[in-house]
Amino acid sequence: MTVAERASRVMHVITGLDTGGAEAQLLHLVSARRRAGANDRVVSMIAGGDLRGQFEQAGVPVHDLGMKRGRPSLPALLRLRALLRRFKPQMVQSWMYHADLMALIALRFSGRWEETPLIWGIRCSDMNLKDYGRALKWTVRLCARFSHLPDMVVANSEAGLQAHHDLGYRPFRSRVIDNGIDTERYHPDRELRAEVRAELGIDPNVPLVAQVARVDPMKDHQTLLRAMEKIPDVALLLIGLGTEKFDGRANCYGLGRRGDVARLLPACDLIVSSSAYGEGFSNALAEGMAAGLPAIATDVGDAARIVSDSGRIVPPRDTDALAAAIHELAFEPLTFRAARKLHARTLIEKRYSVAENLKNYERVYAYLV
């Protein structure tokens, strides 16, 4: 049975289409299904987004609801209800809290509740909601209260599913589907290593650690920066929205938001994730490993399962432990480092491929349809 015969019309509802882990996973999924003949559509609550053009290039229609970030909108809800009535999807899949709640309400009042399965998406683990506004707190509480209504809740990490159970989620059905990593796009490249380092003015011989993350309390850049102060003979490359403000610090290169992360990673020696909480399945960590970079990560979300025995896992917010792990792997004997690089990439190829991710979603679609 082909993809199109199983579920040819899935409507995906997501908060926005800026660069991010959930957005990238949605792009992989709908692009692959489009190539297989499906007629999916994407509904973005917020207009625009860095990735919108890539969805459209893949032939996937994108609709905007015209919402302002952080502001509820009855007209947007009515627009989504109208899209559901017009498109008549075989299934609705929502991504992240606000989209989950919006999709639930719109579908419930669309007249298609009985015939259209709804899948909710969990993309994080133990979020510290104190670091965010009231709107998010209330959205999460409402999602927990109504979590028995979707036909299935899909999490991208085991830690995320458990954390939401602790928050009060009681889904009728649940699954864990790991993220899929594009190992053709993210791969080692010796020529790029020399080219990018020359371009950025980084010594070709200095060990270089990369972190790909927006500046956010969850990502805990401050612990990483303090750890790097303890190892001045190692350089740090920061990529992500807001990281440009760290550029110019001793042994630190802050590039801000970039669209060429796959090109930048081969210039590095290690990938790090210093998150204090909230990570589910870290795309950035797995993409770095696919590029042949051994990983050092805090024990948050499913990081330990992703990294396995290829790198190091340290406690969150532990500056000394993070510095020690980075120093250890940065100055390993070359033969050990080469073996570790190969092992990191092989783990991603075997366990977290885009093809496996697609297959697991298709199984869920087939089951619900």
- Would you call 208 helix, strand, or coil by DSSP? strand
pTM of the predicted model as reported, rounded to 2 decimal places: 0.89
Residue-averaged pLDDT of the chain: 94
Query: Taking 50 as the threshold, does the pLDDT of residue 83 lie above it?
Result: yes
Q: Picking from 69-73, 253-257, 261-265, which range would have the lowest pLDDT averaged per residue?
A: 69-73
pLDDT at position 349:
96
Q: What is the pLDDT of residues 96-113, one digit of tens each?
A: 999 999 999 999 999 999
Cα–Cα distance list, 366 to 261, 311, 337 (Å): 34, 37, 43
Task: Name which of 154, 146, 67, 63 is nearest 108 in CA terms.
Answer: 146
- Would you call 90 helix, strand, or coil by DSSP? coil
Task: Name which of 113, 111, 65, 119 is nearest 92 in CA terms.
Answer: 119
Query: Taking 90 as the threshold, does the pLDDT of residue 252 lie above it?
Result: yes
Axis crossing angle, helix 334-351 with helix 283-290, rounded to the nearest 10: 120
CATH C-level class of 190-351: alpha beta
Residue 324's pLDDT band, with cuts at 50, 70 and 90, is very high
Q: How far is it, in rounded angstroms, from Cα 52 to Cα 18?
A: 8
CB 135 within 8 A of CB 144: no
Helix ranges (DSSP H) in 201-318:
221-229, 261-264, 283-290, 303-307
Q: What is the pLDDT of residues 163-222, one digit of tens each?
A: 999 999 999 999 999 999 999 999 999 999 999 999 999 999 999 999 999 999 999 999
CATH C-level class of 3-180+353-368: alpha beta
pLDDT at position 127:
87
Query: What mean pLDDT do residues 350-355 have?
Result: 93
Ranges of CATH 3.40.50.2000 domains, the chain: 3-180+353-368, 190-351
β-bridge partners, 41 = 11
Token readout for 209 is: 């650690």
CB 129 within 8 A of CB 144: no
DSSP 257-285: S-S-HHHHGGG-SEEEE---S-BSS-HHH
pLDDT at position 3:
46
pLDDT at position 1:
47
Query: Taking 60 as the threshold, does the pLDDT of residue 4 lie above it?
Result: no
Q: What is the pLDDT of residues 5-17, one digit of tens each?
A: 467 899 999 999 9
Query: Taking 50 as the threshold, does the pLDDT of residue 145 lie above it?
Result: yes
Q: How far is it, in rounded angstroms, from Cα 120 to Cα 64?
A: 19
- Would you call 101 helix, strand, or coil by DSSP? helix
Query: What mean pLDDT do residues 127-144 have?
Result: 89
